[in-house]
Every structure is written in C-alpha cells, then in structure tokens.
Amino acid sequence: MTFKNQPEQFIEPEDRKMFTGKFIKTLLITSTLIGLPAIAQTNAGSVPEKAQLKVNSLSCLGCKSERRESTGRKLGLTDSQLEKIASLKDRARVDSAPQKAQLKELYNQLKLAITKPAVDQQEALQIQSKINDLRAQLSNKKLQERLNFMAILTPEQKETLRHKILVSESFRTNASNHNRHHFCYHRA
C-alpha cells in the first residue's frame, strides 16, 4: 500500500477509505489543537463575572460568604460589635465541638447497627434517641448563639436585619434554600 507515487485512480477503494479516514482524523485533531488556544484568548474577557469562581475561596460569587459580608456592611457594624460577634462565634464553635464529634460517632454507630446481618431494632432506636437528644441540645445552643448575636445589635441594626430576613423569606422558593438567612453564621 503505497500512495506517494500512485495516481489517485489506481488506489484501491478500501485503501482510499482508510487514507481519507486517517487524513480527516489528523486534520480534525490538528485544527482543534491549533484553534482552541485562539478561541480561549478571544473569549477570555467575555466570561461573565458571576460565572467566574473566586480564586481564594471555595464558594462562587454571590454565595453565602459574600452575602454575609454584605449583611455586615449593610448593618454598619462597628469594630467593637465585630469583635464581640467573632468572639461569640469562636466560643460557640469550641463549646459545640465535642457534641458534634459525638453526633458524628453516633451516626457511624447507627449505620453499622442497621447494616448488620441481624438488625437489632432496639439498639438502632436507642442510638437514634441519643442522636435526637444531641441534635436538640445543639439546636438550643444555636438559638442561644443567635439571641446573643441579636443582643449585640442596636435597635436600628435589628430593624435592618429583620427587614432583610423578611424580604429573603418572601422570595424564597421551596426548591432552593440557597437564599436562606442564617443570622450571619456558618452552618456546622
């Protein structure tokens, strides 16, 4: 099978298909490799800002961390208030860490209990009861944390926050909790 010196009419039809197929594949690969950088350069500036990810963060633009900062700016928190809030968050994180670790361990125990060949329903229910108690305790701690946060705010800041929560709740859909307000706290 030599194609160099043979005129096209003397090439066997089977060989012509193979030659044409290889040629087309090579042409496509080459044009793609050459064309992609050129396309990337022309479109580099045309990507909308909301589609770009933040480089130093795990979240995309418009997600909770940006809203949290925005809420802090909208409330006009003073340096003293920011220090108190940071202290409050740190204290709450440290206080709830042992219970969260215990909760994680209980969930692992529950998984093991319900996947045993012979499931002991009583054991599974006892573990679930412990999980429910811990979750209730953590929920009460979170409520106390929110109440302490509200105590730091001035009446004007409380009104601004209330308005922001009411507006976000008014436009929230059941399909997405992305816009749900958490009183400027991380959900742990």
| Amino acid symbol at 115 | T
Which is it for the CA torsion 125, 130, 133, 136, positive or negative? negative
Question: Is residue 94 very low, low, confident or very high in pLDDT (cuts 50, 70, 90)?
Answer: very high
pLDDT tens, position by position, 64-83: 544 555 677 888 899 999 99
- CATH code: domain of residue 91: 1.20.120
Domain that includes residue 19, residue range: 8-43
Do residues 120 and 166 share a domain?
Answer: yes
State residue 26's pLDDT score.
76
The residue with tokens 């066997």 is 12
Contact 171, 179 (CB under 8 A): yes
Do residues 25 and 89 share a domain?
Answer: no
pLDDT tens, position by position, 114-150: 999 999 999 999 999 999 999 999 999 999 999 999 9
Do residues 81 and 166 share a domain?
Answer: yes
97 belongs to a structural domain = yes
pLDDT tens, position by position, 29-54: 777 777 666 665 555 554 444 434 34
Which is it for the CA torsion 28, 30, 34, 37, positive or negative? positive
pTM: 0.53
Query: What Rg, from alpha-carbon coordinates, does the chain have?
Result: 31
Number of domains in the chain: 2
